[in-house]
């Protein structure tokens, strides 16, 4: 069996494992959202989302160093240099601990003032919001410390561990949602405390696992000045791109809070829950694929790297299309079925957010390929500046009286501009990449597989009554139409043959098992 076949099978195995994990987690997380919205109420749920979003903005620095940690670990694994892996890991741990301390100080200095003087909050919930802020900071810092260990697990493609810990995390959050109903405590404060406890246990489990299974994950006091300089240089340019991306999400939440108050943040929070649940399916595929894209570049196997980038872009979009289209069309009915109380603007937020997510999914393999080169200065400057347009545009449009959903429409436009910029920037560092070829294959396929099922489903939805059984039938029809279109329009003849052969094998095995 060829090396490429072995790598492809490993991706398929890891992706399948992560999908089972994500299917379970999606059901748990969506039900958890229903329970916690009911337990906290719209106002407290909105407060938690806006306070957590403000703390999340400090992830501008964290996200940059996280990207550096993953990239350098995968790169050294691709080169097969164990000693360098150990140095990279220990350097990353030192950086993340230092970063956690710095962010905690910054959050305390800036955050308490912002929560008490700028945020639009009911006066009687100000004390609870401050406690929520403190535990959100703790939660965030624990997440930072976990990064090198998480990156090591993914770099080694040990997705079973990643899946089991995530399942524990999902079940623990569901248990927390029910515990919040206790009347002896303030619900919002109790929710923040228990989430921090879950994050602490996850942090401990990841550290214990990595120390016992990966030799390079034993921390040593290395001081490699060239490596430190290289990682900081890489992180500095990522700081611009990641900063713009974080402001695009959390900054807009703060603007919405200033203009409309915490109730609108509850609607955006529900949309984010749906987005995160659906987006994890595509992310699972990229989590399984990203290490091999970086390692292929490190070993200069560009042909296989481009194969992964093209396939990753298409398949990520296809997965999101099949999952998102039924929700976009039936969003109003699904939300009323799911939640006891649907905050205003939630439906339009969910629909537009899913569209934005589908567009951005095509860019993810391109980002990984660019990051693999280590030469990200021009790329991050241009993409960062494009994404930074989002926040001032949202503020201007909201101040001019446009409705809340305009912020997501602006985000979609900005995402499309950034997508085209990425395509034409990559050849500056990977000269073999062909932008027109990518557009003509990936771009054309994505548009071609979207239009037929979308048009047909909107017509069916318009002319059928809104009942539970018609909803179920419509979802099935949507899945079938999307699958047929993807198979016959979105796949090559060889890909279509592989899919059909695998379906036949599964059916044949099931038939033989039943016959015996």
Tell me the pLDDT tens digit for each residue of 454-488: 999 889 888 888 888 888 898 899 889 988 898 88
Cα separation, 152 vs 168, whole angstroms: 19
Per-residue pLDDT for 123 more than 60?
yes
CB proximity list for 95: less than 8 A, separation 6 or greater: 65, 69, 228, 231
Region 362-379: what's the mean pLDDT?
A: 82
- Tell me the pLDDT band of 413, cut-offs 50, 70 and 90: very high
Query: Exposure string (b/e) for 370-391, b if CB count within 10 Å is 16 or more?
Result: bbbbbebeebbebbbebbbbbb
CA distances from 424 to 4, 126, 389, 431, 440 (A): 28, 48, 19, 11, 14
Q: What is the pLDDT of residue 449?
A: 92
In this prediction, residue 417 carries a pLDDT of: 92
Show Cβ contacts of residue 454 under 8 Å, excluding neighbours closer than 6 positions: 325
Does the pLDDT at position 423 exceed 60? yes
Out of 127-131, 196-200, 341-345, 440-444, pick the least confident: 341-345
pLDDT band at residue 309 under the 50/70/90 scheme: confident
- Distance (Å, rounded) from C-alpha 354 to C-alpha 227? 39
**CA count, 13 A, side-chain hemisphere, 54:** 34
- Supply the pLDDT for residue 115: 77
pLDDT of residue 395: 87
Contact indicator for 472, 460 with CB cutoff of 8 Å: no
Position 455 scores a pLDDT of 92
Mean pLDDT, the chain, rounded, equals: 78
pLDDT of residue 512: 58
Q: How confident is the model at residue 284 (pLDDT cuts 50, 70, 90)?
A: low
* Residue partners of 84: CB distance under 8 A and separation at least 6: 76
**What pLDDT was estimated at residue 103?**
78
Asked if residues 283 and 425 have their Cβ atoms less than 8 Å apart, the reply is no
Average pLDDT over residues 30-53: 72
Least confident of 109-113, 256-260, 281-285, 403-407: 281-285
CB 263 within 8 A of CB 46: yes
- 75 has a pLDDT exceeding 80: no
**Counting beta carbons within 10 angstroms of the beta carbon of residue 107, is it exposed (0 to 12), middle (13 to 18) or buried (19 or more)?**
buried
Q: Minimum mean pLDDT among 137-151, 223-237, 259-273, 348-362: which range?
A: 223-237
**What does the pLDDT read at residue 281?**
64
Burial of residue 10 (CB within 10 Å: 0-12, 13-18, 19+) is middle
Does residue 219 register a pLDDT over 60? yes
Q: Give per-residue pLDDT as tens, 427-449.
A: 888 888 888 888 888 888 889 99
Over residues 396-407, mean pLDDT: 87
Residues making up the chain, counted from first to last: 516
The b/e string for 247-275 (b: 16+ C-beta within 10 A; e otherwise) is bbbbbbbbbbbebbbbbbbbbbbbbbbbb
Q: Which helix (H) or strand (E) segment is 186 a member of? A: none
| pLDDT of residue 83 exceeding 80 | no
- Tokens coding 80: 């097969």
pLDDT of residue 283: 66
Q: Point out the least confidently predicted range of 176-190, 292-306, 373-387, 415-429.
A: 176-190
Q: Is the pLDDT of residue 62 over 60?
A: no
**Average pLDDT, stretch 486-508?**
73
């Amino acid at each position: 069996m060829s090396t490429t076949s072995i790598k492809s099978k490993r991706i398929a195995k890891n992706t399948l494992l992560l999908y089972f994990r994500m299917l379970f987690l999606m059901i748990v997380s969506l039900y958890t959202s229903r329970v916690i919205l009911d337990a906290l109420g719209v106002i407290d749920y909105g407060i938690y989302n806006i306070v957590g979003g403000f703390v999340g903005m400090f992830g501008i620095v964290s996200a940059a160093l996280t990207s550096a940690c993953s990239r350098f670990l995968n790169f050294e694994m691709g080169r097969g240099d164990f000693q360098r892996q150990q140095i990279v890991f220990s350097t990353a741990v030192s950086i993340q601990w230092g970063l956690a301390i710095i962010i905690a100080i910054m959050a305390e200095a800036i955050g308490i003032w912002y929560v008490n003087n700028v945020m639009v909050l009911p006066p009687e919930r100000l004390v609870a919001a401050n406690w929520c802020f403190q535990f959100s900071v703790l939660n965030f810092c624990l997440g930072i410390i976990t990064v090198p260990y998480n990156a090591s697990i993914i770099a080694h493609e040990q997705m079973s561990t990643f899946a089991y810990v995530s399942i524990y995390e999902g079940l623990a959050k569901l248990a927390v949602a029910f515990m919040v109903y206790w009347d002896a405590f303030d619900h919002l404060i109790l929710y923040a405390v228990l989430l921090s406890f879950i994050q602490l246990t996850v942090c401990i489990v990841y550290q214990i696992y990595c120390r016992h299974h990966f030799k390079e994950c034993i921390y040593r006091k290395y001081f490699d000045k060239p490596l430190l300089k290289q990682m900081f240089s890489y992180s500095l340019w990522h700081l611009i791109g990641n900063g713009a991306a974080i402001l695009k999400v959390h900054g807009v939440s703060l603007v919405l809070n200033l203009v409309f108050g915490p109730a609108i943040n509850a609607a955006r929070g529900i949309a984010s829950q749906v987005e995160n649940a659906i987006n994890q399916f595509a992310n699972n595929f990229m989590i399984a694929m990203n290490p091999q894209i970086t390692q292929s570049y490190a070993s200069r196997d560009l042909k296989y790297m481009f194969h992964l980038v093209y396939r990753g872009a298409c398949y990520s979009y296809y997965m999101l299309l099949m999952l998102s289209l039924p929700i976009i069309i039936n969003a109003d009915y699904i939300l009323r079925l799911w939640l006891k109380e649907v905050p205003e603007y939630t439906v339009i937020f969910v629909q537009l957010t899913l569209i934005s997510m589908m567009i951005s999914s095509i860019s993810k393999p391109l980002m990984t390929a660019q990051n693999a080169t280590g030469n990200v200065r021009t790329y991050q400057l241009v993409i960062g500046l494009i994404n930074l347009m989002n926040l001032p545009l949202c503020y201007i449009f909201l101040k001019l009286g446009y409705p809340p959903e305009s912020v997501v429409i602006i985000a979609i436009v900005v995402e499309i501009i950034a997508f085209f910029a990425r395509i034409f920037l990559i050849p500056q560092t990977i000269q073999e990449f062909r932008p027109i070829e990518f557009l003509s294959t990936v771009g054309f396929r994505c548009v071609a597989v979207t239009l037929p099922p979308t048009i047909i489903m909107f017509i069916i939805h318009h002319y059928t009554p809104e009942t539970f059984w018609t909803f179920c039938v419509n979802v099935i029809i949507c899945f079938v139409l999307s699958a047929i279109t993807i198979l016959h329009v979105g796949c090559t003849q060889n890909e279509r043959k592989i899919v059909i052969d695998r379906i036949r094998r599964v059916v044949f095995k099931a038939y033989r098992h039943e016959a015996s």
